[in-house]
Every structure is written in C-alpha cells, then in structure tokens.
Structure 1
Amino acid sequence: MHRTARTASAATALAVAFGLTACGSSGGEGVAADKKQTLTVWAMGAEGEKLADVAKVYEKANPHITVKVTPISWEVAHQKLVSAAAAGTLPDVTQMGGTYMGEFSELGVLEPVDTEAFKKDDFFPAAWKQGEVKGEVYGVPWYVDTRVLYYRTDLAKKTGIDKAPADWPELKQLATAYQDKAGTKWGLYLQPSGLDTVQSWYPFLYSAGGEIVSEDGKAAFNSPESIRAMTEYASYFDKGLTKKSTPPGYEVLKDFNSGDVPMFFSGPWIMTLINDDYPDLKGKWAVAKVPGDKASVSMAGGSSLVVSKDSKHKAAATDFIKYLTGTEGQKDWFTRTSDLPANTSAWDSGTLSDDPGLQIFRQQMESAKGTPVLAKWSEITSKVDEALGAVTQNKSSAKDAADKAQSEIEGLVE
C-alpha cells in the first residue's frame, strides 16, 4: 500500500460533517449476477493501468458484464475516495490498502465480506487480517507485499562470509565486513529520517517482538522491545555503517549496482528492476529473510478489494473479486504485474514455486505482521517517523524519543 499525504484526520472530520456515518445503506438486493450490467471499479497506480486488461478477459467469459475500470493515482486516491464516499458515489469495487481500511469501515461505506464465499484459510494470515476491523471483514486480499534483505553475494565472498545473515549480530557483522574487507562505502542502507521511515524500521520492530499499538488497541511504542529495536536501528548510523542523510528521490539501486551500498531491505518489485536495469549484476546478488532478533518477522503490506455498501451490483462485484483472488486469477495477475499473490495456492506451481528468490518472499509472508487497522494510523506513524529521525540524527535517546511519541500516540488511539 502506498501512502501519500497524511490527511486522514481532516478527511474523517469532513466525512463526518457530510453525515457519512449515517448515510451508508445496503442498497437492497440489487442486480443479480447473471443480469446485464456495468460494474465500476477503481484501482490505484500501476494496478489501475493493468486491471483494465484483466477486465477485458473477464468480460469475454462473462459477456453480460461490462467492467469499467478507472485508474487513480496514489497521490489523489485518498482525496477521491473521501469525496466519493461523502457524495455516495463510491464505485462498486475499490482497491484499498490497510492504512485506509480502518477509516472507511468506520464511515460505514463498505460492505462486509461474505466469509462463505471467501475463506480465510486461502490467504496469508497477515493479508486477511488487513481487511478485518473489530471482528468484521471488509476486504478480500488481492496482492501482498513484504520486505526482505537484498545483499551482494560477490562482495560478501570478499569478506569471507558465504551465507546470508540470520540474526542481528550477523547482520552487523556482515555490514562491518563489507566496509572493512570488501571496501564498500557503506555497510547497508537504512532510511535515516522523513516520511515513512517507519517502513524501513518495521523489520527491526517486529523481529524484536514490538508493536506500535497493541492488539487490544493501546499505545505500546515505548515498550522494551520497541526501544531495543530503535536502539539497534540507530546503531548503524552511530557506527557509520549507513548514510545519515539522503537527498530527495534517492535511489538505492544505483549504489547497490556500484557496490557503495551492498545491502538494503525492500519489496518484490526490486527483483524485476535489478534484472531489467542492471543485468550485469546477474549472479552477484540474492535475497534472504529478514535477520531476526526474537524471530524473523517483516512487515506485511499490499491491497485488498472492497465493495461499496451502496452498490447495486454486489453479486457481480463478488464474482469479479472471486475471479481476481482465485488461484488462476492470482497467477495471471502476477505475470502481468509481479504483484505477489495473496492466495497461497497460487504459489504451488509455475514460476512462483520454482524461483528461489520468490520463495524467500513466500516464507517471509508466512510470519509477516500487518499494521493495525486504525482510522488514524497515518497520524500515528508520523509520530514514529519523528521519533526515529530524532534518534538517528542524535537529537534524542531511544528511550526519550519513544516516551515522547508514546504520549502523542496515546491521544490518537481510541
């Protein structure tokens, strides 16, 4: 899920002013799935561009259905969704990430998922949980995302280390060896500060067993586990193993290619970028699970598909979502986009089962942890970003930064 400007609080206030919490309705029985009708769908970013092609394939098999796909850029997605919700003009089906799910479910504009039609056990646990709010399921997992470690194997051999780091001590050992023995400028890359630094830090937090907000909805940012994770993260900056600042638009792959940055954490799309843009790196890099503390746990992201509560085409919307999230639909979507399937059965054959790198992502997803589905999550993580920046820039201790953010987060959770 891509995140844009942190406008959730203002958007929620606007939506409430429009009376949204009272205007959602089931829309009656609506049009039967086998009747001639037009299904409206919004999808974001690259997915919005690719989904129109899939819709054409679906239409050929279901000629009574016309699927009208509207691509929406991530930069304006939140604003458009809020405006459409306030006006009662949400499309029948919408792509939605976990950072939006809490807000829009709270507004009462999403139709609960039919858990007889969609089975929890068909999907990665973290992906299913992303669509669940207070025990009710509103989103069907469409694709998933997680972070793993990318590292230069050729440069690791120069250090005398021939295996991927499995835990925090081994990660720091390799980062140090890259500099001292392979002559790299840095040991790895971690985001130092700014918007969404939290996403770079999640593998440390979750591997330490920490949380920002606990399962019971209480702020937990200043827990011993969280402070330990922040301290470990900051140590790479203190020891000069990673950049203390980066320019806007920094692209780590250029430094990965040159060898200046031999390790970093990122998602599955990077594999395609390396293969396409840096073919000379073939055979010189690999991916590995997140080096763990208590365990190897990374973040879980991705998107779900939701149905508008006011839709008159819920039956057709459900059928279309079944097509997109079923085994074959998920395999097809992967070949078109490289988005990782949320349905685990799609991983059991073909490229997804044969590629060792992709299997690392599957293994990481099995233990990945999703973010809490809260209406003010973007505001909460902005406080975490500020805390991380203060610590990496030596403006605060981990304990003081955590305590300060904790008091601010407590005012944002219900």
Structure 2
Amino acid sequence: MGAVVRRHGRGLTAVAAALGLTAGLAACGHPGDSDGVTLRLVAADYGDSPANASQKYWTTLADRFEASHPGIRIKVAVYSWNDVDRRVKDMVARGDAPDIAQIGAYADYAAQDRLYSADDVLSIPTEANFLPALRTAGEVSRIQYGLPFVASTRLLFYNRTLFAKAGIGGPPTTWEELRDDAALLKAHGVKVPFALPLGPEEAQAETMMWLLSGGDGYVNDIGSYTLDSKQNVRTFTWLKDNLVGPGLTGPTPPARLDRAEAFAEFADGDVGMLNGHPTLMKTADDQGVKFGMVPLPGPDGRAKAAMGVADWMMAFKQGGHKAEIRTFLDYVYNDTNMLSFCREYDLLPVTTSASQAMSGAHSAGRLGPFLDELPSAELYPVAKTSWAAVSADIKKTIGSAVAPGADPASVLGALERSAQATDNAD
C-alpha cells in the first residue's frame, strides 16, 4: 500500500536502499539480559539520508523509555520502505513475529488472528485519542487492530511564478478553472501544465484524489467497491477529454509518469500544477520554486473530501507480551514523541491532542493546510484484505483509462469486476 510518504529526489533512492541494508543491523536494548522483557520492534525508515534515518529516532526514544521502565528492553530494527513489509511477512511466516511492527498494512495479519486489538495494548486515554477517521480506518468488523502511527494528506501545488507569467491571478477553484489555467500555462510555454502521474509507482493515490474530487471514491458506505460508478466514470472521462487529450499533461503519457518524476519536474520549475504531499514543500524549496497549495477542486467547487494516508502500528500476539506492549505504546503515542517524529519528517500526527498542539504552534507552519484536511480525509480501504491486490491492479491499469482512443468506462468496469472477484475470494 505504501507509506504516507517516501521522500523522492535525485540520488535518494540509493541512499534509502543502503539504509534498508544496514539499519536493521543496528539495535537498541539488551537482548542478552536475563531480567525483564525484551520487546522487538520492526519499523520503517522515513529518512532521506543517513543524517535523518529513523533508526536515530527509535534508538533515542527506546533509550529514554528504558531509563524510566527498567523492566522492559526495546530492540529495534529499521528497514527501508522497499524492504520492511517483506521483512515482517517473512518473520511471521517462519513463526518469529516481532512484538510490534510499524509498516504499511495490517489487514492480512488481523484476518489471520495474529494481532492484539487496540483495547488490548493501549490504555483507554491513548485509544480514545486517535482522530476518528483514522481510528475507523484501523477497524476490521468494528474492532480496531490497526493503530495509525503517522498520517499525510494531499493538496494541489501550483507554481506561483509560472502562474504570474501566464497572467493567472490565483489557484483554480473548479475543474473548469483548472483546465483553463492549464491551457494558459501551455500557451505560455510551460512544459507540463498539469502533471498527472498514473504510472505504476503510486497511481492508486493520484486516482483516489481525483475520484474524491469527482464526488465518489473506491468504496461505498458499506465498504463495497465502486470503481466504475457513474461519478468515477465521469471523472476519468473528464480527465481524458479535458487534460490529457488537449496535451495539458506534458510529453510523458500519464500511464508512464511516476510520482517521483513529476515531483522532480515540479522542483525543476517545469510543472504548473500537480497533487502533492507535505515533503514536496522541502523539495521545491531546495530548488527555489515559489509555490502555493490549495485543496484539489471539484467540478463545481471544493471537493467533498481530501485523500488521507496513514501508516500503521500493530502488535502481534505471538510473544505474549501484552502488558509490556501497552506500556511501550502509551509512551510512543504521547504528544512529545508524536510531535517530534512528525516534525522531523513533515508528517501529521494521528492523535487529537498532538494535532491540536501542532495546529496551535507556530512551528506548524506550512503543514497547517495539510493538517486542516486530516479530520475529514478519506483513506484507502485498508481494512479490506483484498485492497493490496486491488491497489496493484489499479497501478498497472488505470493509466490506460486516459490514453488516446480509450474508453474510461471499460477500464474502470474491468477493474471493478476484478476487485469484486478478489474481494469475494477473500
């Protein structure tokens, strides 16, 4: 499913891969101690260089925790996002599940009855502190197993300099204005008026943003897939006819454009508009791009909801350390630790108290607009064990819906039938 954010930029992929190979070798805690309990935590790396690798955060946090809880040791292994889900899957398969995992998805493990529920491993104040939309997204059959760890929302980024050169006074507030602005940008020589990354890297995110903008989404109120609903077909037909067809999405076909490339082009000043997450701010700043951010508009005004993404904590039952896990997770989720992690990586806190603290602090800065979207954001249908396979199908296929001569209804219909079949098989 992917992380809330993977930092992109030239040269960063190799760094992340190197971190994935080495970070897991480092651990804090003292597994050889005979007294007390040692908890094993596997976590994902959010850093984009050795200087801000997540291992540093977890080592520091674990050292502080151990100092005040002498009976509990924490052994941490941190892996890159390319490796961490597979590492945990392999551990579980060989009967060696960690006590706690901080990864991208929880539903398969919940379906296999391998996880503690939230009320098993969180105090009542900590459990009640999650933002409601995120708490609900962690539920399977109304029982919460996925514990949101950090979150992100998406906004429409636009290049203020390019807008000014094209004589555009402000960001679009409707689809029609977005199309007209893209046409003006193209007329003034902008290489990519609107970047539409529907390539295999993270097409499921771009797709969901547009489906929500058009008034629907991936599932209905009872959790059934609705990929080929009338609203969704209308949305992709509009994209094909109004952005892609007139050449307003640049020289690379959307089906071959990945998010990393789109972000890099925005940072180079070649993109007028695109949907982005908070870390794009730093990437653009580093390149001197002056930009603004607003919610993605809908057909007649503001979209009904923004897209939210969460990464998840989960506690495995295999080791049987329920009480110790509860003590540690209550510490992980206190406001000081939550805010420290989120500020380090430009992410959003998942608890009400930390969100309020960030919103009221000057340090929230430009994260404020993303934070404002979070309480009402809609997330991927991560509670469905079928979602991983459906997401993979979307990544492979959805870009073809806007190709020349394509029929969006047929592409979405095929995706819907496949999704229903996968869901029924589960």
Superposed pair shares fold, TM > 0.5:
yes
Aligned counterpart in structure 1 of residue 393 of structure 2, from 365, 383, 404: 383
Aligned counterpart in structure 1 of residue 321 of structure 2, from 304, 313, 324: 313
Q: Deviations over 1:361-389 (max 9, x none)?
A: 01221221111121121211233334422
How far, CA to CA, are the matches of 1:175 and 1:261 in structure 2?
A: 10
Aligned counterpart in structure 2 of residue 134 of structure 1, from 126, 133, 141: 141
Higher relative contact order (CA 8 A, sep 6+): 1
Going from structure 1 to structure 2, the CA distance change for 1:250 and 1:87 (only over 3 Å counts) comes to: closer
Going from structure 1 to structure 2, the CA distance change for 1:164 and 1:390 (only over 3 Å counts) comes to: same
How far, CA to CA, are the matches of 2:45 and 2:406 in structure 1?
A: 37
Gaps of at least 5 residues in structure 1 are 4-34
Deviation at 1:92, TM superposition (A): 1.1
User: Secondary structure of the residue that 1:46 maps to in structure 2?
Assistant: coil
Q: Which residue of 2 aligns with 1:111?
A: 116
Q: Deviations over 1:62-93 (max 9, x none)?
A: 33322111112322333322222233321111
Query: Is 2:300 the partner of 1:295?
Result: no
Query: Is 2:370 the partner of 1:365?
Result: no
8 Å contact from structure 2 (residues 106, 314) kept in 1: no
Deviation at 1:260, TM superposition (A): 1.7
How far, CA to CA, are the matches of 2:157 and 2:124 in structure 1?
A: 38
Q: Which residue of 2 aligns with 1:90?
A: 97
How far, CA to CA, are the matches of 1:143 and 1:200 in structure 2?
A: 20
How far, CA to CA, are the matches of 2:336 and 2:266 in structure 1?
A: 35
8 Å contact from structure 2 (residues 183, 193) kept in 1: yes
Going from structure 1 to structure 2, the CA distance change for 1:248 and 1:265 (only over 3 Å counts) comes to: closer
8 Å contact from structure 1 (residues 286, 357) kept in 2: no
Q: Deviations over 1:26-68 (max 9, x none)?
A: xxxxxxxxx8321110001227523223222222333332211
Q: Which amino acid aligns with 2:116?
A: E
Deviation at 1:339, TM superposition (A): 2.5
Deviation at 1:189, TM superposition (A): 0.6
Paired residues for 1:35-54 under 5 Å: 36-46=36-46, 48-49=54-55, 50-54=57-61
Paired residues for 1:319-398 under 5 Å: 319-349=327-357, 353-354=361-362, 355-372=364-381, 373-398=383-408
Q: Deviations over 1:119-161 (max 9, x none)?
A: 5653333322231111110122210012111111122223333
Aligned counterpart in structure 2 of residue 201 of structure 1, from 207, 227, 237: 207
* Matched pairs, number: 376
8 Å contact from structure 2 (residues 100, 314) kept in 1: yes
8 Å contact from structure 2 (residues 202, 395) kept in 1: yes
Query: Is 2:175 the partner of 1:168?
Result: yes
Query: Is 2:421 the partner of 1:411?
Result: yes
Q: Which amino acid aligns with 1:112?
A: S
Q: Deviations over 1:88-125 (max 9, x none)?
A: 3211111133xx22211111111011175255653333
Bigger mean CA deviation after superposition, 141-150 or 168-177:
168-177
Going from structure 1 to structure 2, the CA distance change for 1:321 and 1:199 (only over 3 Å counts) comes to: same
Going from structure 1 to structure 2, the CA distance change for 1:214 and 1:350 (only over 3 Å counts) comes to: closer
User: Secondary structure of the residue that 1:340 maps to in structure 2?
Assistant: coil
Going from structure 1 to structure 2, the CA distance change for 1:249 and 1:153 (only over 3 Å counts) comes to: closer
Deviation at 1:395, TM superposition (A): 4.9
Q: Which amino acid aligns with 2:181?
A: L
Gaps of at least 5 residues in structure 2 are 4-34, 48-53
Q: Which residue of 1 aligns with 2:151?
A: 144
Runs of 4+ in structure 1 over 6 Å off: none
Deviation at 1:226, TM superposition (A): 1.1
Going from structure 1 to structure 2, the CA distance change for 1:248 and 1:185 (only over 3 Å counts) comes to: closer
Going from structure 1 to structure 2, the CA distance change for 1:70 and 1:250 (only over 3 Å counts) comes to: closer
Q: Deviations over 1:259-303 (max 9, x none)?
A: 32121112112222233x32x33xx21221222347242222121
Going from structure 1 to structure 2, the CA distance change for 1:167 and 1:356 (only over 3 Å counts) comes to: farther
Q: Which residue of 1 aligns with 2:74?
A: 67
Aligned CA-pair RMSD: 2.5
Q: Which amino acid aligns with 1:361?
A: F
Q: Deviations over 1:344-370 (max 9, x none)?
A: 322334687434521110122122111
8 Å contact from structure 1 (residues 193, 392) kept in 2: no
Q: Which amino acid aligns with 1:186?
A: V
How far, CA to CA, are the matches of 1:143 and 1:346 in structure 2?
A: 11
Query: Is 2:273 the partner of 1:268?
Result: no
8 Å contact from structure 1 (residues 198, 381) kept in 2: yes
Q: Which amino acid aligns with 2:409?
A: K
Going from structure 1 to structure 2, the CA distance change for 1:131 and 1:296 (only over 3 Å counts) comes to: same
How far, CA to CA, are the matches of 1:253 and 1:226 in structure 2?
A: 25
Deviation at 1:190, TM superposition (A): 0.8
Going from structure 1 to structure 2, the CA distance change for 1:375 and 1:193 (only over 3 Å counts) comes to: same
Q: Which residue of 1 aligns with 2:9?
A: none
